[in-house]
Amino acid sequence: MALRIRGIALPGREEVVLQIEGDRLRTAAGDDGEHVIDGGWLVPGLVDVHSHPGTDKPGDEFDLALFREHMLQHRAAGVLAVRSPGSADPLSHRRHDEPDLPRLVTGGRWLATPGRFFEGFGRDVEEDDLAAAAVEEARASSGWCKIIGDWLPGTPPVPLDALTAAVRAVHAIGGRVAVHCQTAEGAEHAVLSGADSLEHGMHLDHALLPLMAERGTALVPTFTTFAKTVEQLGRGEPEHIRDWLRSGWDGMAATALAAHEAGVTVLAGTDSKPCGDIVGEVEWLIRAGLPPEVALGAASWTARSWLGLPGLTDGGWADVVAYDEDPTVRPAVLHSPSRIVLRGRVVL
């Protein structure tokens, strides 16, 4: 007997009847069959576009058992696709399709030029070798690479010409580039280089937002991790670092809202442990002033489209999360999915 899904699909808000064929969805001709979801609100599987499963803290070696634990934490929250922009796993490009885990979009190893990352945690490269290394990581991954574009205040960012050369080289092979940036100059270089996404974007000059919108550059603010960082600030950090982090945090909500209003794609990524807190990131986006539907889309249909992943369409993946209430009207229901289907299998 065919397995079917019936409900009101977001974002279109039309009632649909879909049939599960293997790990794919097909438009059903009728409403016969066994319904694994019968009513409610249907959302394309949630997405965390900035997560690093497999390590708990910077400097840790990649742990495959921990990777699976982290991915199952994501799955339990309805996160059915994860983009890992930077990994300590030298074999991350091989971990694309474990049948019980969310789908993984890899970004290779972090690319760190001298003095701009946790020592030995990423792939250390010289500035002159950055473009070639970026192409290598993009080819070895899901088409993405991740460049550490800046680091702490007082440390110059990757020079604009070196970063631009790397972005152009990756684009030339059809790849995409995520850039870590949390200083004003680092964020400026990321935008001007033509990067595909700014990861964090603290201290981003709002005057650059129209250019980001024009080029399709996304912003992934990662409120979740910075909220924890600022909350845990103590006397162990130099005062100028504490002030820099607090001022960056104080401006993040205004930046996310201004980016949305300027037409920039704002996406949801947690960059935090434990994994599976994407709903908290959606709530941060709502608190920043983004409409609930936009905030949810940042962790679902918008993120999936941006990554080239299908939504609730004929021939799309059978990755669906159902809720008893409209999550754009009552976002709190996102904490309580009524059903989760991954790769055509009911996992909740």
SS3 at position 310: coil
The domain of 255 spans 46-307
pLDDT given at position 234: 82
Residue with the two structure tokens 């742990």: 63
Both 292 and 339 in a single domain?
no
In order along its 348 residues, the chain shows pLDDT tens digits of 689 999 999 999 999 999 999 999 999 877 778 999 999 999 999 999 999 999 999 889 999 999 999 999 999 999 999 999 999 887 765 656 789 999 999 999 999 999 999 988 999 999 999 999 999 999 999 999 999 999 999 999 999 999 999 999 999 999 999 999 999 999 999 999 999 999 999 999 999 999 999 999 999 999 999 999 999 998 778 999 999 999 999 999 999 999 999 999 999 999 999 999 999 999 999 999 999 999 999 999 999 999 999 999 999 999 999 999 999 999 999 999 999 999 999 999
Rg (CA), the chain: 20
Both ends of the chain: CA-CA distance in Å?
Answer: 20
Both 20 and 125 in a single domain?
no
pLDDT given at position 30: 74
Both 189 and 119 in a single domain?
yes
Both 272 and 330 in a single domain?
no
**Dist CA 294 CA 205 (whole Å):** 22
The total of structural domains in the chain comes to 2
* CB distance 19 to 33 below 8 Å: yes
- CATH number for the domain harbouring residue 85: 3.20.20.140
pLDDT given at position 89: 85
Both 67 and 24 in a single domain?
no
* Residues paired with residue 87 on neighbouring β-strands, in sequence order: 109
Both 326 and 181 in a single domain?
no
* CB distance 186 to 157 below 8 Å: yes
**Dist CA 155 CA 115 (whole Å):** 8
Both 282 and 327 in a single domain?
no
Both 218 and 316 in a single domain?
no
Q: Could you give the angle at the alpha carbon of 280 between the alpha carbons of 278 and 283, nearest 5°? A: 115
Dihedral of CA atoms 114, 119, 122, 127 in degrees, nearest 10, equals: 0
Cis peptide bond prior to 99, omega within 30° of 0: no
Decide: pTM greater than 0.95.
yes
Both 326 and 202 in a single domain?
no
Both 325 and 231 in a single domain?
no
- CATH number for the domain harbouring residue 37: 2.30.40.10
Both 172 and 75 in a single domain?
yes
- Which tokens in the block code for residue 305? 């489209």
| Beta strand spans in the chain (E) | 3-9, 14-21, 24-27, 34-44, 46-48, 79-84, 103-106, 110-112, 123-124, 144-148, 176-181, 197-200, 218-220, 320-323, 339-342, 345-346
* CB distance 62 to 108 below 8 Å: no
- Report which residue type is found at 28: A
Both 91 and 218 in a single domain?
yes
